[in-house]
Amino acid sequence: MTEINITANNTEGTVKQIRDIIGGTIESRWGEYTLTVNSALAKGSIRFITFDWGVNLLEYDITFFDDITLIMDTSNFNPIHFTYCLNGHCSHKFGYQKEYKTIAQFQSVIITSKDGGYNYGYFPKDIKLEINVIQISRQLYLKKRLNNVAQLNKKLYEVFLDKDQEDTFAYFGSYNLKMADVIGKLRKVKQNGMIRILKIEGMVYQILSMHIQQHDIALQGTKIETNLLKSELKKARKIAKSILKNVALDYTLDYLSEKSGLTQAKLQEAFKILYARTVTEYVRHVRLEAARDYINTTELNISQIVYSVGFSSRSYFSKIFKEKYNISPSEYLKAKRIKTTVPLAN
């Protein structure tokens, strides 16, 4: 067991104190900092970004080779932690507790300690960890971002307004695969420079909203009525991701059901829970999104695009494209060409 004592007063200091124990180097670019390590204790990376509205993004993409315990003194830095395990699992306890509570894969968790207390984070060895943590400094967040904090549910409202940080708070929610999709996209942002940071910032706010929304629904006692197992929802999500990778295939419910190992009824139910669409509606949606991307990024004509994304009828494609985007494909293409035309100099 390796213990790392965290006494820092910000996220940057936290990562530096982790580095001092596990090794590695920290590099920065456009306000994005990445600790890269390949040592006897760990291999992978930890990155963080600090935004000026009181929010920090902290992401682990790392495997530890010894059990790691972070002992975090909250005297100097005590944010609210919105935590999500995309891969693997970890555990948490407050200083006064004897037992750890597991943060499972795909689980939404919200935690904050009291001022002067301790948070204990446990990371098991030899498990690939992909953990997304959004940290909120309450005073700055309330000042910068929340014009109407009352829109939050009552309990979180109290947590945000606990400026003196006198209380502990922990919410261990149910698994949320929709959040996994958004966090997965955040990790794959390809832009560089300020555009990259701005895109990440928007996605961080989206993930934060999903955490708060899930907690709000839980307080209201609203539950999704389903008998599906977590493993069955994961199978449906895997099918959805395979469709995204090749939208042009001729997908049938029979084929997807056989490929997933789920009955057609279960597959339909899972898609409605995860994407608020039937399987057919989901396939049509991703094909239309792919078609719009082709119009924006290629020189293909409409007929070529229609068949490239798996439609067999141009008239049907035009009809549903206009229904979705309130503009016909040809008009969209024309507008794109006008926008990208550079006027000749006199």
pLDDT digits (tens, 9 = 90+) for 232-287: 888 998 999 999 999 999 999 999 999 999 999 889 988 888 887 899 999 999 99
The yes-or-no verdict on residue 150 having pLDDT over 80 is no
pLDDT at 320: 94
Q: Give CA–CA dist 134/193, Å, rounded.
A: 21
Q: Which residue has the higher pLDDT, 34 or 296?
A: 34
User: What pLDDT, in 10s, does the model give residues 46-81?
Assistant: 999 999 888 899 999 999 999 999 999 988 888 899
User: Model confidence at 341, in pLDDT bands (50, 70, 90)?
Assistant: low
| Region of residue 172 (phi > 0: left; psi between -120 and 50: alpha; otherwise: beta) | beta
pLDDT at 275: 83
pTM of the model: 0.73
Q: Give CA–CA dist 205/86, Å, rounded.
A: 17
DSSP letter for 150, please: G
Task: Give the DSSP H/E element, type plus range, for residue 4.
Answer: strand 2-6
Task: Give the DSSP H/E element, type plus range, for residue 263.
Answer: none
CATH number, span 2-219: 2.60.120.10
Break the chain into its structural domains and give their ranges.
2-219, 230-340
Tokens in use for 181?
């999709």
Tokens in use for 159?
């947590």
Q: Give CA–CA dist 119/241, Å, rounded.
A: 36
Long-range contacts, 315-319 (Cβ 8 Å, 24+): 317/291
pLDDT at 205: 87
Tokens in use for 56?
């920090």
Summary mean pLDDT of the chain: 87
For the chain, give percent helix, strand, coil, nearest 5: 45, 25, 30
- Those residues whose C-beta lies under 8 Å from the C-beta of residue 131, and which sit 6 or more positions away, are 59, 60, 83, 84, 85, 86, 88, 90
State how far the alpha carbon of 279 is from the alpha carbons of 112, 179, 324, in Å: 39, 19, 17
The yes-or-no verdict on residue 340 having pLDDT over 70 is no
Phi, psi of 72 (to 5 degrees): -105, 110
Closest-CA residue to 173 (of 81, 77, 108, 233): 108
Amino acid letter, 105: Q
Name the most confidently modeled range: 41-45, 166-170, 304-308.
41-45
CATH number, span 230-340: 1.10.10.60
